[in-house]
A and B are shown apart, each in its own frame.
Chain A
């Protein structure tokens, strides 16, 4: 693996998506400030969460579909004229796009936790649920990345990103009804119950499997353009 070139390709994706990244970061920060300013009223929280989720899912979809976009906009032959193998290209796409997404994700996650901790309007017991839901978005994004990179199909990428949005709601509603979550969510202290930890473990495992399967499929591909 030529790590220098993989880094150059990641830099290229970062350069090309930094405008969008900054816009997402600013919008996310404003939303959190808005939630805090509205003193945690229910309407503000619901609106804020919808906006934050949309930012993350939208940014994830844009980043992860860049494989499909490169093919459609015919910049792939340009990239493949560089001294890289296709696996190195795939690596740069998966790692690069996930890294860029992770930076935004981490910034917003920290912002949320900071908002919960720093303002008097939210129970700290909300933190585990917030983390679980944020990791769930990461799962959706990684899965989307895997599908997009391996199928190279715009149709599949769009379908999975839509399903991801719906799935996130479904997961949220199901999890919030679980005993290990529901019981501690309004507590003044965060409780990392076995249920919460098990869910996190499943999420992290899904992420690992998605990426591993994507790499495996890519390493067996023969024709690329």
Chain B
């Protein structure tokens, strides 16, 4: 059995204008989870609960075997955390920050840090004040990575980076995973990044996890089928169709529980199957959110079987 590095069970947190509801998350050690959601969907609150910075009202959170928030100090010894709203001390240099972190984390790897300095094109003697946004993000990532943490928690790590820097950062994240004992949890609005590097995917919308699964299962479950119907034919009701678009003669089905038998069922009904297309994560995310917002009850029934 794989050990879980992050485990949320039934976590809720209420604020006056927003609440997180019954969040379940499971991230196996050695893998990378992409956490996708719109602005204000609850990504940052979830991450703060994960880090023990915000206390959940109910439910349990276990990170690297430590109960959060009670055991946060111990858990954070093995966590590298970078969030979008995190700043370094403007008046100090990057070199000072590196020394400071090194004095606290015994596993700090100076050779790796030097390596990252070169790769991220950062100058340690420069004060944080003088760095661009991208350089600050990379500096914070360097400080987290060179601790060699067992778990990296990154809130929007690639936001605001230029394409070259983004590629470097993704490469470093993947390089971390060459060690099977290390795990990454990252949130992003960039579904391309998530689709590319994550093993596990969780979608959050309006404070609820609306879908969470292994990425390959996830991408396999969703298909778009383009059909051509002869006049006066109606399609049978197929399970897992979340949206029927297109025109009446040329319908396009969006399906979240695809099975090759569905294609046969369409053909049996007299439809010509023009194509069965895989969907990108972005398309899946949008279809998922929209179908749930349109039919909140109907779709939530399928969630149980899907997330299992």
Within 8 Å by CB, do A and B touch in the complex? yes
Stretch at the interface among A25-33, A69-77, A94-102, A194-202: A69-77
* CB neighbours of B86 from chain A (8 A): 74-75, 77-78, 81
Residue contact B53 to A224, C-beta cutoff 8 Å: yes
Residue contact A8 to B104, C-beta cutoff 8 Å: yes
Residue contact A78 to B51, C-beta cutoff 8 Å: no
Q: How far is the CA of A78 from the CA of B90 in the complex (A)?
A: 12
Number of interface residues of B (CB under 8 A): 30
Residue contact B76 to A84, C-beta cutoff 8 Å: yes
B57 to chain A, nearest CB (A): 9
Please pick, from A15, A74, A222, A225, the residue contacting B96 in the complex, using a CB distance under 8 A: A15
Residue contact A83 to B54, C-beta cutoff 8 Å: no
The answer to whether the Cβ of B221 comes within 8 Å of any Cβ in the partner chain is no
Residue contact A85 to B81, C-beta cutoff 8 Å: no
Residue contact A77 to B89, C-beta cutoff 8 Å: no
A35 to chain B, nearest CB (A): 33
* CB neighbours of A15 from chain B (8 A): 92, 96
Most buried by B among A15, A77, A222: A77
Q: How far is the CA of A5 from the CA of B100 in the complex (A)?
A: 11
Q: How far is the CA of A78 from the CA of B140 in the complex (A)?
A: 9
Contact residues, A63-117 vs B (CB, 8 A): 73-75, 77-78, 80-85, 88
Residue contact B51 to A80, C-beta cutoff 8 Å: yes
Contact with A along B54-83 (1 / 0, CB 8 A): 110000000000000000111111011111
The 20 listed contacts between A and B (C-beta, < 8 Å) are A2-B73, A5-B104, A8-B103, A15-B92, A16-B91, A74-B85, A74-B87, A75-B86, A75-B87, A77-B83, A78-B140, A81-B144, A83-B74, A83-B76, A83-B104, A84-B76, A85-B72, A88-B73, A222-B54, A225-B53
Which 3 residue pairs spanning A and B have beta carbons closest together? A81-B81, A77-B86, A222-B55
Residues of A in contact with B (beta carbons under 8 Å apart): 2, 5, 8, 12, 15-16, 73-75, 77-78, 80-85, 88, 222-225
